[in-house]
Amino acid sequence: MPDLQPIIRFENVTKAFPPDNRVLENLSFSIMPGEFVSLVGASGEGKSTLLKLIYAEEVPSEGEVYFNERPISKINRKHLPFFRRNIGTVFQDYKLLPQKTAFENVAYALEVDGRETDEINAEVPEILEIVGLGNKMHKFPKQLSGGEQQRVSLARALIHRPKVIIADEPTGNLDPHSTEEIIRLLQEINSFGTTVILATHNKGIVDHLGKRVIALNDGAIVSDEHKGKYVTSTPTLNKQPIQKV
Amino acid sequence: MKILKLWRTFKEGMLNFKRNGWLSFATVSILTLSLFIVSLSALLGLTTHLVLQNMKEKVTVSVSFNPDVKEERILEIKDELSKYTKEISSVQYISRDKALEDFIAQSGNDPVITQAIEEIGENPLLASLVIKAVTPENYPLIVDQIESSTFQNDISRINYERNKKIFERLEKINTATRKAGLFLGTMFIFIAILITFNTIRITIYSHRQEFEIMRLVGASNLYVRTPYVFEGVLYGLSAAIFTMLFLFGIAYYIAPLTQGAIPQGNFMNLYLNNFFIILGSLIFLGIFLGVLSSILAIKRYLKA
């Protein structure tokens, strides 16, 4: 029997920043374990904010986000680092530690967990091999290309064998070849059962994936299709006045 | 597991120190400068104090006797004075011949002076007792007692008045330098703390994006902070050692200037005699400044 309980569930979630900037408006949806979900929408539509609510970098103004049916906002701040080990994150700017080599960057995620050195020395090369960086383990981020840096970042996200991978515009700074590489890796990770949530505004990727697509416009879900295509948000009059007539 | 993490954060701190070569160098330089200024003002204050004390100790009161007083009488008085061991530490008898000898020796065997004395035909100097008090504060009392003693009529003069002025002047200098030293020292320490704090804050500021990343991959605040505490320790330790070397250089150069001016002989001896006290204080102060600054500076980036 597959697990029928959603791994992530948004319940009437609204996020507003002071003074009165409502970024997300009354969102409700669920993501099941093992799903590959693309989150689309133009920049500034609230994709990153939505993801931050999942990895507890932000808390909802109203409503609640559940992880395995446990409310995330109720997690004690002290336990936040432990909770975050369930979620691997990948960002547009890679977020690698510049003073550490590829190996050390990945190892860091295990070190903070108090794992044995032997274990780290065995697991880190293995994961770097998977993302195709076996021969560049001891290079510093500035010695690697953008695509390679993103693969280090992905290796780090995977090292805890997280249940969920969150990728916020992971290909935003990459050339088409590297983009393809990263997406292929995300698909591979997903095929092993890891839930992947990918925020992007790359139409080609979304159409190529042929997986679930949630489209955000003006902080609200405008479409949620299980074999979706990229949805171009229709301009609304109240947001952008008509300029070309 | 706790020890493993502690060891890792320690290694992390060492590695940061090494990989941030220039930044570490700049931070250690500033901290060294601060420690150097503070310790130099403290040592100079101490030296001034010691020089003045030394001068005070060299001051004596000499009682000269009329030419007709017999040597036996003077020695008798010397014995009498020597009994007051609480106030008087030593009494030395200088005969008229010895006084002349000393006088000629002091003038550097100047032929003019030798000639002048020969022309006088007899020794113009008086026999005297040189009294050294236990502490300089005893002199007024000793002089009072001698002036009202039974042998007051034998005394030609007491050279106290001149010495008294020297005393008063030294006392004034001592008080003034102590006040100035305290004021300057406090100011320097304050400036040193501010500069060190700001330098370390800039160092930490340059790492602020890394804290976010570290926390994102699951590091606790403590795990993020501890390497910087060790780095702070390393800044303090290196700065203390560099300061010690600079002070050695200073001591080497001013040792000849202070030769004989302080009880320890010269500045180098003062430095070497107190080597471990100075080193210990510097290490303590350096680590204290380094660690405190690190902890305070990182605090604002670890909220939430």
Q: Which domain holds residue A105?
A: 87-161
Cis peptide before A125 (omega within 30 of 0): no
Based on the fold, state whether residues A78 and A12 are members of the same structural domain. yes
Based on the fold, state whether residues B44 and B174 are members of the same structural domain. yes
Contacts of B6-15 with CB under 8 Å at 24 or more apart are B6/B226, B8/A111, B9/B223, B9/B226, B9/B227, B9/B230, B10/B226, B10/B227, B10/B230, B12/B226, B12/B227, B12/B230, B13/B226, B13/B227, B13/B228, B13/B229, B13/B230, B13/B231, B13/B233, B13/B234, B14/B230, B14/B234, B15/A99
In the sheet that B88-94 helps form, which strands lie side by side, from edge to edge?
B88-94, B128-133, B61-65, B155-158
pLDDT digit of tens for each residue in chain B (304 aa)? 578 888 888 888 888 888 888 888 988 898 898 888 888 877 777 777 777 777 777 778 888 888 888 888 888 888 888 888 788 888 888 888 888 888 888 777 778 877 887 787 777 788 888 888 887 778 888 888 888 887 777 888 887 766 777 777 877 887 887 788 788 878 877 887 788 888 888 888 888 888 888 888 878 888 888 888 898 899 889 999 999 999 888 888 887 777 776 767 777 887 888 888 888 988 998 888 888 888 888 887 776 5
Q: Which domain holds residue B173?
A: 2-55+169-299
Based on the fold, state whether residues B95 and B50 are members of the same structural domain. no
Based on the fold, state whether residues B21 and B91 are members of the same structural domain. no
Note whether ipTM > 0.85 here. Answer: no
First to last CA, chain A: 57
Residue B16 contacts A, CB cutoff 8 Å: yes
- Does any domain span residue A116? yes
Based on the fold, state whether residues A49 and A91 are members of the same structural domain. no
Q: How far is A241 from chain B (nearest CA, A)?
A: 38
Please name the residue of chain A whose CA is at the shortest distance from the CA of residue B211: A97
- Does any domain span residue B292? yes
Strand partners, B155: B65
Domain edge (last residue) among B160, B188, B210:
B160
CB-nearest partner of B217 from A77, A98, A109: A109
- Provide φ and ψ at A139, rounded to 5°: -90, 150
- Inter-chain residue contact A82 with B218, CB threshold 8 Å: yes
- Provide φ and ψ at A128, rounded to 5°: -70, -30
Rg (CA), chain A: 19
Element (H, E) at B94: strand B88-94
- Provide φ and ψ at A228, rounded to 5°: -90, 165
Based on the fold, state whether residues A100 and A150 are members of the same structural domain. yes
Rg (CA), chain B: 31
- Does any domain span residue A185? no
Residue A234: predicted pLDDT: 53
Q: Which among B27, B89, B88, B22 has a CA at the least distance from the CA of B289?
A: B27
Based on the fold, state whether residues B294 and B189 are members of the same structural domain. yes
- Inter-chain residue contact A113 with B213, CB threshold 8 Å: no
Please name the residue of chain A whose CA is at the shortest distance from the CA of residue B20: A99
CA A159/CA B218 separation, integer angstroms: 12
Asked whether the beta carbons of A99 and B20 are under 8 A apart, the reply is yes
Domain edge (last residue) among A161, A178, A207:
A161
Burial of B190 per CB tally in 10 Å (0-12, 13-18, 19+): exposed
Distances from the Cα of A53 to the Cα of A15, A76, A197, angstroms: 9, 15, 13
Q: Best interface-test mutation with B: which of A95, A96, A104, A110 has the largest number of B CBs within 10 A?
A: A95
Residue A76 contacts B, CB cutoff 8 Å: no
Domain edge (last residue) among A146, A161, A176:
A161
List all residues of chain A from 14 to 43 with a beta carbon under 8 Å from chain B. none
Based on the fold, state whether residues B109 and B257 are members of the same structural domain. no
Residue B303 contacts A, CB cutoff 8 Å: no
Count the residues in chain A. 245
Based on the fold, state whether residues B293 and B225 are members of the same structural domain. yes
CA A158/CA A156 separation, integer angstroms: 5
Based on the fold, state whether residues B122 and B260 are members of the same structural domain. no
Burial of B109 per CB tally in 10 Å (0-12, 13-18, 19+): exposed
CB-nearest partner of A81 from B20, B210, B219: B219
Amino acid code (one letter) for B36 = F
Domain edge (last residue) among B160, B180, B201:
B160
- Does any domain span residue A184? no
Asked whether the beta carbons of B56 and B228 are under 8 A apart, the reply is no
Q: Which among A156, A231, A177, A175 has a CA at the least distance from the CA of A167?
A: A156
What CATH number should be reported for the domain holding residue A80?
Answer: 3.40.50.300
Residue A187: predicted pLDDT: 92
CB contacts of B8 in chain A (<8 Å) are 111
In angstroms, how far is CA A100 from the centroid of its own chain?
Answer: 23
How many CB atoms are closer than 10 A to CB A235?
10
Q: Which residues lie closer than 8 Å to B43 by C-beta, 6 or more apart?
A: B247, B270, B271, B278
Number of domains in chain A: 2
- Kindly report the pTM of this predicted structure: 0.69
Domain edge (last residue) among A161, A182, A210:
A161
Element (H, E) at B211: helix B208-216
CA A234/CA A45 separation, integer angstroms: 13
DSSP B263: T
Q: How open is the CA angle B261-B182-B46, to the nearest 5 degrees?
A: 20
Residue B160: predicted pLDDT: 74
Based on the fold, state whether residues B11 and B93 are members of the same structural domain. no
Asked whether the beta carbons of B230 and B14 are under 8 A apart, the reply is yes
CA B201/CA B193 separation, integer angstroms: 12
Q: How far is B253 from chain A (nearest CA, A)?
A: 42
- Does any domain span residue A198? yes
pLDDT digit string, tens, across residues A63-120: 999 999 999 988 888 788 788 888 989 998 989 998 899 999 999 988 888 888 898 9
CB-nearest partner of B16 from A84, A99, A112: A99
- Inter-chain residue contact A97 with B5, CB threshold 8 Å: no
- Inter-chain residue contact A113 with B218, CB threshold 8 Å: yes
- Does any domain span residue B304? no
CA B31/CA B23 separation, integer angstroms: 12
Q: Which residues lie closer than 8 Å to B45 by C-beta, 6 or more apart?
A: B177, B178, B181, B182, B185
Based on the fold, state whether residues B35 and B181 are members of the same structural domain. yes
Number of domains in chain B: 2
- Does any domain span residue A98? yes
Based on the fold, state whether residues B151 and B179 are members of the same structural domain. no
Q: Retrieve residue B274's tokens.
A: 């107190």
Domain edge (last residue) among B138, B160, B182:
B160
What CATH number should be reported for the domain holding residue B139?
Answer: 3.30.70.3040
Looking at chain B, the number of H-run helices and the number of E-run strands are 11, 4
Residue A245: predicted pLDDT: 47
pLDDT digit of tens for each residue in chain A (245 aa)? 455 789 999 999 999 888 888 888 888 999 999 999 999 887 777 888 999 999 888 899 999 999 999 999 888 887 887 888 889 899 989 899 988 999 999 999 888 888 888 989 999 999 999 888 889 999 999 999 999 999 999 999 988 888 999 999 998 888 888 898 899 999 999 998 999 999 988 888 888 888 899 988 888 888 888 777 776 655 555 545 555 54
- Does any domain span residue A55? yes
